[in-house]
Structure 1
Amino acid sequence: MSEGNQTSVTEFILTGFPGLHLEYYGLVSAVLFVVYLITVIANASVLFLFATNRSLRKPMYYIILNLTVCDLLFSTTTLPKIISRYWFQSGNISFLACFVQMYLVHYFGSVNSFILFLMAFDRYLAICHPLRYSNVLKNSTVLILSITAWVVAIAANSAMVIRAYPLPYCASNIINHCYCDHIGVTILACTDRTPYAFSAFVCAMITLLGPLAFIIFSYCSILIAVSKIADLQNISKSLSTCTTQLIIISLYYLPRCFVYLASNVGLRFSADVRIVVIMFYSLGPPMINPIIYCLRSKEMRECLWKQFYRRIMPQKGHVSAISNR
């Protein structure tokens, strides 16, 4: 079929979880709303801690700040629409809005991957080249690298969406997903999508496997460096500084790699199982990451406790003053 002006689709319909029965719509929408609420509160709390505590103005926390902003924006891009799908039975999304959401989903995913690369780079320098850390990774350096990550992701994902937008969409408009993504949308085109899938493949290689390759290299180097340390206490201290980042990186990459590998070796899942896994690795980390920061980082725990202490003590003082009257 030629690719003339054949697009008759004016809107798409997001199915969400295809096999979900109507009686569970309220429950699912409530769960998703709670997930979004926790995500917003947790990430906003990290932003507040960073804004009110000068002790967090360090390279590692600037990297966490970028990840926090990215997680918050990604969840805001995806969750409100799927919540309305089940809360108000409104799964319709306009043609243009779908492509805007597609772009933002892949854009924030790419930025997230680049920020995880910076996190691994931070630990690599701190453990493998500790004497050069303060000279190489300054706040200004992190700022430049962070801006680069956000800008590079624009170019990496623009080509993918620009090539997908003009395709002729003249058949089904039902997207078997909770949000618009490249595969879910372009599979509905009335043409062979193979040539257009190549740009998406290249984008995935650059934004996912590129940072992942360095992350693997950096942590292998860290393990080698730590193995040469004779003092057991120093080994434990060095590894503990990596634990937080390893948990965050694992939550982001392991489920993705599992889905990609499973599809390549012929392991098939039902549509519902596949979407549940995708939603887990898409929406789980933005909600869990801030909790991990605060539990694993001593400085962030102390800042959080100070904020809590400031809120509690004035109330106690106010009660004591009333009781002494």
Structure 2
Amino acid sequence: MRGNRHVEFPDDFWIPIPLDTNNITSLSPYLVPQDHLGNPWIFYSMSAFMFFLFVAGTIINTLTVACTVQYKKLRSHLNYILVNLAVANLLVSTVGSFTCFYCFAFRYMILGPLGCKIEGFTAAVGGMVSLWSLAVIAFERWLVVCKPLGNFSFRPNHAIACCALTWVFALCAAVPPLVGWSRYIPEGMQCSCAPDWYTTDNKFNNESYVMYLFGFCFAVPFSTIIFCYSQLLFMLKAAAKAQAESASTQKAEKEVTKMVVVMVLGFLVCWMPYASFALWVVNNRGQPFDLRLATIPSCFSKASTVYNPVIYILLNKQFRSCLRKMLGMSSEDEDDSTTSHSVTEVSKVRPA
């Protein structure tokens, strides 16, 4: 898809215009199916995929919240953060994924400019809360396991404060496009909405907003995750080396290493496509690109509503045990120990 001639666009959308098209309104993503961007089967396939994310994400995250409400033993500081993650995922799946499913079925942003702003803002808030929650989880693990502050105890009120902070950070990222710093417009195949990565219109200062998002909403949390988990791994390896004869310590070290790798990969799968695409567009203005490929980052970010709970919640033995009991799938008391508990036990071992 190419857009290599100057065209004056409305303030509420931007699309690559074919060279022989003079009437922009005739291609408005709010008025007509965007069949000029791809075959209908692409739209219908995306609609089916978004429907899957809507159903799976809503079910998994609703069960997470319900399970925490039902079982008091799950109301620990770490699980408060996991529930915060689940609530953010619910926001994305019920509004973002459902809206995309509906619009892809019609092959255009049938909900209009207002619906676009609502979907873009909601998905941005939920996505940013999810992103910062992952950073908070890493920070909490670092404080609890590595004990950089000595005997400082990370309590539920600290977890609640951190959860509130994730929503403040999310609003700092999602509100600006509503008040003139960038804007929410249809992206990719024009059936979902996001901040404007595409244009350099000085009216909206899009480039500065993209760099702000990359620095504050990607680089900072990603650096936090890498630092905290790397410190955790170094400490565990030192403890495992000091207790080479201990099978339980060695097992815990291997389990946590695998868990950390999966968590970091999950973060990268979710947010690296968006960050890379936005930076590429900003640094390659005027270069042609296929809008079908530009849809991929949105797919990965919305898919996180399904795989994040699997990584952070369903791999938690205590959560998994309570969930099975709530669903009537287990009649026996299962081992309530979690990997995080194992990590805490290992942290008590001080290498010589």
TM bucket by the smaller chain? 0.7 to 0.9
Q: Determine whether 1:108 maps to 2:126.
A: yes
Q: Determine whether 1:273 maps to 2:283.
A: no
Q: Which residue of 2 aligns with 1:153?
A: 170
Deviation of residue 217 (structure 1)?
1.1
Deviation of residue 131 (structure 1)?
9.0
Q: 1:181 is matched with which residue: 189, 194, 204?
A: 194
Q: In 2, distance between residues paired with 1:111 and 1:150?
A: 6
Deviation of residue 26 (structure 1)?
4.3
1:120/1:245 contact within 8 Å kept: no
Q: In 1, distance between residues paired with 2:69 and 2:260?
A: 22
Q: Alpha carbons of 1:164 and 1:300: their partners in 2 closer, same or farther (altered >3 Å)?
A: same
Pairing 1:1-325 to 2, within 5 Å after superposition: 12-13=29-30, 19-23=37-41, 25-89=43-107, 91-129=109-147, 132=150, 135-164=152-181, 175-177=187-189, 178-183=191-196, 187=199, 191-192=201-202, 195-229=205-239, 230-232=242-244, 233-238=248-253, 240-241=255-256, 243-244=258-259, 246-254=261-269, 256-257=271-272, 260-261=275-276, 264=280, 270-276=290-296, 278-309=297-328
Gaps of 5+ in 2: 1-9, 14-24, 333-352
Q: In 1, distance between residues paired with 2:49 and 2:69?
A: 30
Equivalent residue letter for 2:238: K
The 10-residue stretch of structure 1 (233-242 or 198-207) with the greater mean CA deviation from structure 2: 233-242
Equivalent residue letter for 2:166: A
Deviation of residue 95 (structure 1)?
2.2
The 10-residue stretch of structure 1 (194-203 or 48-57) with the greater mean CA deviation from structure 2: 194-203
2:181/2:209 contact within 8 Å kept: no
1:78/1:105 contact within 8 Å kept: yes
Deviation of residue 301 (structure 1)?
1.9
Q: Which residue of 2 aligns with 1:320?
A: none
Gaps of 5+ in 1: 1-5, 314-325
- Same amino acid, percent of matched pairs: 19
Deviation of residue 140 (structure 1)?
0.8
Relative contact order (C-alpha < 8 Å, sep 6+): which is higher? 1
Q: Which residue of 2 aligns with 1:318?
A: none
TM-score, length of structure 1 as denominator length: 0.76
Q: In 2, distance between residues paired with 1:222 and 1:15?
A: 50
Q: In 2, distance between residues paired with 1:122 and 1:183?
A: 34
Deviation of residue 283 (structure 1)?
1.8
**Which ranges of 4 or more aligned residues in structure 1 deviate by more than 6 Å?**
8-11, 14-18, 265-269, 310-313
Q: In 2, distance between residues paired with 1:257 and 1:290?
A: 19
Deviation of residue 27 (structure 1)?
4.5
Q: Superposition RMSD on alpha carbons, in Å?
A: 3.6
Q: Alpha carbons of 1:86 and 1:215: their partners in 2 closer, same or farther (altered >3 Å)?
A: closer
1:16/1:85 contact within 8 Å kept: no
Q: In 2, distance between residues paired with 1:180 and 1:141?
A: 34
Q: Which residue of 2 aligns with 1:323?
A: none
Equivalences, count: 298
Deviation of residue 97 (structure 1)?
2.7
1:18/1:272 contact within 8 Å kept: no
Q: In 2, distance between residues paired with 1:247 and 1:17?
A: 38
Aligned-partner SS, 1:92: coil
Q: Alpha carbons of 1:174 and 1:143: their partners in 2 closer, same or farther (altered >3 Å)?
A: closer
2:124/2:173 contact within 8 Å kept: no
